[in-house]
A and B are shown apart, each in its own frame.
Chain A
Amino acid sequence: DVKVTQSSRYLVKRTGEKVFLECVQDMDHENMFWYRQDPGLGLRLIYFSYDVKMKEKGDIPEGYSVSREKKERFSLILESASTNQTSMYLCASSLGQGRGASGETQYFGPGTRLLVL
């Protein structure tokens, strides 16, 4: 079974803090994704990566950055947390056959619920 783990289930941070959300997958997947999930808005893609050190912006990258130094790990960074970044953050991975692999199942982690005060 594919396993995607996220470093924290719940996180409380203060406005202006730098926040790191970590995601690790154990199936040698090429592609990794970060989403945020908000009620009534579904999941929105923040960033994704289809190879080590490669990253692409998703639909809502503002206020976020990412890092992928190793294949199994994909980090989401909030440089200066703000209250409007309070959300559930989901990481996902898929097998990946280069950019453009459109038929793949994405496997999701349990999510990190972030509260920014």
Chain B
Amino acid sequence: AQSVSQHNHHVILSEAASLELGCNYSYGGTVNLFWYVQYPGQHLQLLLKYFSGDPLVKGIKGFEAEFIKSKFSFNLRKPSVQWSDTAEYFCAVIPYNQGGKLIFGQGTELSVKP
């Protein structure tokens, strides 16, 4: 079965530290890739997405992600986190031509200490 795996369940960082959240998926065909973020008490919202082209994708609030097809990975990065980045982050995949169904990872809770 298709699945998405996020390596870390809970990450704790100090402000200004660099962030990398891992995401791997198991699907051999073409996929579209997403990172969503859920700030405390807020809606789940799109952080960035990859469909095709440059595998390094830039999103909102200084986040970026790199698609490495050979590793089935789509890791999220930010060079310097802020306290306001405290949130839960979800990686998600839509396999091509499967009805637009998002397959989510388990989520990674990020806590940034001021």
Whether A108 touches B44, Cβ cut-off 8 Å, given contacts A40-B106, A42-B107, A103-B32, is: yes
Instruction: Please pick, from A92, A102, A104, the residue contacting B95 in the complex, using a CB distance under 8 A.
Output: A102
A50→B100 contact, CB < 8 A? yes
Most buried by B among A31, A33, A41, A43: A43
> Which residues from chain A contact B43 at a C-beta distance below 8 Å?
4, 108-111
B44→A99 contact, CB < 8 A? no
Across the two chains, which residue of chain A brings its CB closest to B100?
Answer: A101
B104→A102 contact, CB < 8 A? no
Contact with A along B75-100 (1 / 0, CB 8 A): 00000000000000010101111111
Whether A105 touches B106, Cβ cut-off 8 Å, given contacts A94-B100, A99-B99, A100-B98, is: no
A102→B49 contact, CB < 8 A? no
> Which residues from chain B contact A111 at a C-beta distance below 8 Å?
43
Q: How far is the CA of A4 from the CA of B45 in the complex (A)?
A: 12
Q: Is A48 located at the chain interface by the 8 A CB criterion?
A: yes
Whether A56 touches B102, Cβ cut-off 8 Å, given contacts A108-B44, A109-B43, A110-B43, is: no
Number of interface residues of B (CB under 8 A): 29
> Which residues from chain A contact B96 at a C-beta distance below 8 Å?
102
Q: How far is the CA of A104 from the CA of B42 in the complex (A)?
A: 21
Contact with B along A86-117 (1 / 0, CB 8 A): 00001010101001111111101111000000
A100→B105 contact, CB < 8 A? no
Binding site for B on A (CB under 8 A): 4, 31, 33, 35, 40-45, 48, 50, 56, 58, 90, 92, 94, 96, 99-106, 108-111
Q: What are 6 A-B contacts defined by CB distance under 8 Å?
A: A94-B100, A99-B100, A102-B94, A102-B97, A102-B99, A110-B42
Binding site for A on B (CB under 8 A): 4, 6, 9, 32, 34, 36, 42-46, 49, 51, 90, 92, 94-107
